[in-house]
Structure 1
Amino acid sequence: MRRRTFLGMSSGLGIVATGLLPAPASAGWRRPDLVVAADGTGDHTAIQAAIDAAPAGATEPFVIGVRPGTYLGQVIVPSAKTLIELRGLGRRPEDVVIADDRANGTPKPGGGTWGTSGSASVTVDGAGFRASNLTFANLFDEAAHPEITGRQAVAMLTRADRLVFERVRFLANQDTLYVNSSAAGVIARVYLRDCYVEGDVDFIFGRATAVFDRCRIHSLNRGSTPNGYVTAPSTDIGNPHGLLFDHCRFTSDAPAGTVFLGRPWHPNNDPNAIGQTIIRRSWIGTHIPDLAWSAFGTWPWEEARFAEYRNHGPGALVSANRPQLTGEQAASSTIEAFLRGPDGWKPERC
């Protein structure tokens, strides 16, 4: 049986297990513009209400502080709500949990089902969004709903540019973190630092340019073979930068050699979705086999842009099944190269 995630329990999700640290004092810290508190002691009791109250078209950050508690219900940050920051006001990321519990196949009121994108607990379409020191989760219980076969259940869906997540946990099973863009061919950049992502099937996926800096990537044990796939990138062929993992830790409770690092996702069989996953200078556990990449249906992994560079740990093998970057390729596959863009964005220096 796969190990389920229970909020508040020490199943690899706490501050010690994830490597997440309390937020340090910062010279750039500013007082929240609004406070959300489940007990009614703030300006709002719901996350969506605070998002709705934020100004549209902001040109400077609008900070929403969230006091400890669990906040249930779908949250949407529309494209008009720019530069919103959600800041957990607890001591640890697990003190503030923002969650919903629908899946792809969950029936919608009025007919039909939610689909993968519609299942997202949180959807971010507003550029410049930032989140820190909190948890995003999808609590859909697969075991309790055997009648639902569409089990993709997204905790966070991003479709905007210049997004930052710091000391954030993302918890679900299948399709936990959907890093996407507003349309095919549109580049959207996401920077994640000191975060924790947990799931099983394709749990980090999409066409965005997403950089994972010193994050922990944890594969759940599904109790089957294969036990899952960490990434499923759908990077557009015109985008040289897809998913990058730098100085991360790939961990799991699954048996040795039962989890793939990724497989290439071609939405609607799009031939231009030539997915990219690069893992460099990271620790990889025994759950990853020598043949670390997998085909996705009829799409072979060899035609995708999968590569590693100077990884270590018992699952960091070097063989014909594990393409490695050359030194020259590695020099152009850095955090800076992925994020800069024409506007010179430098979130990793903040």
Structure 2
Amino acid sequence: MVSQSGHMAYRSVQEAVDALPARGGDILIAPGVYREKIKIGKPGVHIKGTGQRPEDTVVVYGDGAIKVGGTVHSATMDASGDDFRLDNLTIQNDYSLDPDNPPSQAVALSITGDKDIITRVRLLGAQDTLFANKGPNGRTARQYFSDCYVEGHVDYVFGNAKAYFQHCELHGIANQAVVYTAQSKDSPDEDSAYVFDHCTLTADPSAHGIALGRPWRSYATVIFLFTRMNAPVIPEGWSEWDRGKTNRLKTAYYAEYQSTGIGANPRGREPYAHQLTDSEAKQWSLKAFFADDTDWLLSSTSR
């Protein structure tokens, strides 16, 4: 148990993580605001906020990549162990809220383990909020996000994991440019992609240049299924990584199926993007995506 006032409880999340055995274990966090950086390398670490809502339990820190020697080092929570679980709390990087800080990447959650499950979690930041990436030595990292809220602006869901997002909201905050995703699949034979299934896209009224994604690497793969695009996404949907310098849209795989809302514009999408048929969309269902190896998800979904 982690609590700022409870008897016989750890006062910080990191202290509780460090106290777990090598095989991991369960951590319950009482409501409150915990200002700390957390690093989790053990497998089987399961963390849950005990408040009524994710907003009740907040882990927050304010490092920016420009000040700590790299994007990954800026993360408020860095979870690299397999079988990681996170439920019912908020992870925030508030670097951008300080007007004295220069613009920089500032990660809230870095997650690189395999068979990780994130449910009912709020991830708050600006640039590079969620780093969902492969594990050490390029090992495939299967990750599942359900009923989460992720906000930011530029490239704020980024990396090279094999990640499935279900019933999540992506919210673009006020900025001159908002790019929901920057997936980084680097070669055609890599087993990675981001799939957003029955998710919702929203944005602040002063968010501009809203794009579904741009390819951080040449074979970036992102699919939106049954997505409510309640944000004014640019007509072409997707943008080049660096206009005039890179030409990755022709090798990336960007696709949609039955998008709705003001941001849905299947006829106006850039030429290399795909509008999936019924049979093509089935190939990106949860079970197909994880090749029928979904026993590890039974605690979170019956789909």
Give the TM-score of the pair, scaled to structure 1. Answer: 0.79
- Out of 13, 37, 41, the residue aligned to residue 3 of structure 2 is 37
Q: Deviations over 1:166-216 (max 9, x none)?
A: 110000000000001124642101101100000001000000011110011
Count residues in correspondence. 294
Pair 1:69-2:32 in alignment: yes
- Out of 77, 81, 90, the residue aligned to residue 126 of structure 1 is 81
Unaligned runs of 5+ in 1: 1-34, 107-112, 267-272
- Out of 129, 146, 169, the residue aligned to residue 176 of structure 1 is 129
Alpha-carbon shift at residue 314 of structure 1 (Å)? 1.4
Alpha-carbon shift at residue 253 of structure 1 (Å)? 1.3
Partner residue in 2 for 1:228? 178
Alpha-carbon shift at residue 249 of structure 1 (Å)? 0.5
Distance 1:188 1:177, change over 3 A: same
Give the TM-score of the pair, scaled to structure 2. Answer: 0.91
Distance 1:114 1:40, change over 3 A: farther
Alpha-carbon shift at residue 40 of structure 1 (Å)? 4.3
- Which structure 2 residues correspond to residues 176-215 of structure 1 after superposition, within 5 A? 176-183=129-136, 185-215=138-168
- Out of 68, 80, 105, the residue aligned to residue 66 of structure 2 is 105
- Which structure 2 residues correspond to residues 244-259 of structure 1 after superposition, within 5 A? 244-254=195-205, 258-259=209-210
- Out of 232, 237, 261, the residue aligned to residue 292 of structure 1 is 237
**Structure 2: how far apart are the matches of 1:262 and 1:91?**
33
Pair 1:137-2:103 in alignment: no
Distance 1:189 1:70, change over 3 A: same
- Counterpart amino acid of residue 261 in structure 2: G
- Counterpart amino acid of residue 73 in structure 1: E
Alpha-carbon shift at residue 301 of structure 1 (Å)? 2.1
- Counterpart amino acid of residue 85 in structure 1: H
Distance 1:135 1:336, change over 3 A: same
**Structure 2: how far apart are the matches of 1:131 and 1:294?**
32
Unaligned runs of 5+ in 2: none
**Structure 1: how far apart are the matches of 2:292 and 2:81?**
18
State the identity as a percent.
Answer: 33
**Structure 2: how far apart are the matches of 1:286 and 1:64?**
37
Instruction: Compute the RMSD of aligned alpha carbons.
Output: 1.9
**Structure 2: how far apart are the matches of 1:203 and 1:257?**
15
**Structure 1: how far apart are the matches of 2:44 and 2:192?**
24
**Structure 2: how far apart are the matches of 1:241 and 1:105?**
28
**Structure 2: how far apart are the matches of 1:196 and 1:285?**
14
